[in-house]
Amino acid sequence: MCTVTFLPLKNNGFILTSNRDETPLRATFPPKKYQEDGVKLVFPKDKLAGGTWIGTSSNNRLVCVLNGAFKKHNRKESYKKSRGIIAKDILKASNCNAYIKNLDLDGIEPFTMVIVDWNNNNLNLLELVWDENTKHFNSLKNEPKIWSSATLYSETSKETRQHWFKTWVSENNFTTSTILNFHHSEIGDKEQSILMKRPKVETVSITSIKKEDQKIEMLYKDIIRNLIHKTSI
């Protein structure tokens, strides 16, 4: 939810990995297969809001959510809809671009969504940022990339993490095990490291989704309980 990396693989494959930085008191269900509105979904579920921060669908799509847009915002007492529910709506949409173009986000808390869509034998890496005033929807190059949540990490911290990731990319092969090592790393200050820990917020889980040819696998690690769930999609 708060630290995300994308790695391209050959033949339109990829590995996307997300660290969820949250209060350990917030209950979560591990990944499970669901069917909603005729669409097959796989995602870990947030018990409080019923949505998700990362998931895939039979529409050949992945959506991953980070809190905040470009900079830290002042949180309101309430919002119209959970960002995790919007993530599910995008997973279920038949046409991703058209759905986002018409998506009304007034009254929604700022967010960043990383979207991977692999329809028509193409792999499209997309980014949707809502800053509470404007939708910023862009297509990105299929190259290694890291995102850090604006609500938890300053611009200086983001730049430091970009440097760590760039170094990692130059020294490692792109596999699930190697990128998981990066997402478990405790480089530098513990409050700013990839595997983060602060008094009230810490990395509670790591989810990694790999697409290779027609095979898709989701690995979910509950950091708090030290449990691992693997799901083939």
Type of residue found at 75: R
pLDDT at 228: 97
pLDDT confidence of residue 66: 97
Mean pLDDT of 122-143: 97
Averaged pLDDT of the chain: 96
Q: Own/partner pairs for 136-139, CB < 8 Å, 24+ apart?
A: 136/69, 137/97, 137/100, 137/101
Q: How confident is the model at residue 125 (pLDDT cuts 50, 70, 90)?
A: very high
Q: 121 or 191, which is more confident?
A: 191
- Confidence bin at 155 (pLDDT 50/70/90): very high
pLDDT band per the 50, 70, 90 thresholds, residue 233: confident
Measured between alpha carbons, how far is 15 from 176 in angstroms, rounded to an integer?
A: 7
Question: If you ran DSSP here, which 8-state letter would residue 97 be given?
Answer: H
Q: State residue 48's pLDDT score.
A: 81
Whether the per-residue pLDDT at 1 is higher than 90: the answer is no
- Give the pLDDT of residue 121: 85
Is residue 49 pLDDT above 90, yes or no? no
CB 112 within 8 A of CB 65: yes
Q: Which helix (H) or strand (E) holds 168?
A: helix 155-171
The share of the chain scoring above pLDDT 90, in percent, equals 92
What is the model's pLDDT at position 13? 97
Concatenating the DSSP letter of every residue in 104-125 gives --TT---EEEEEEE--TT--EE
In the structure, what pLDDT confidence band is assigned to residue 120 with cuts at 50, 70 and 90?
Answer: confident
Alpha carbons 107 and 101: distance in angstroms, whole number: 17
Residue type, 46: D
- Please state, as a whole number, how many other Cβ atoms lie within 10 Å of the Cβ of residue 199: 6
Question: What domains lie within the chain, and their CATH numbers?
Answer: 3-232 (3.60.60.10)
In whole angstroms, give the CA distance from residue 233 to residue 222. Answer: 19
Give the H or E element holding residue 179.
helix 176-183
> Degrees (nearest 5) of the Cα angle 197, 87, 47?
60
Residue for token pair 């990383």: 114
113's tokens: 């969504």
- pLDDT for 69 equals 96
Q: What is the pTM of this model?
A: 0.96
Banded model confidence at residue 230, pLDDT cuts 50, 70, 90: very high
Q: Is the pLDDT of residue 73 over 90?
A: yes
The residues facing 36 across adjacent strands are 39
Between 78 and 37, the more confident residue is: 37
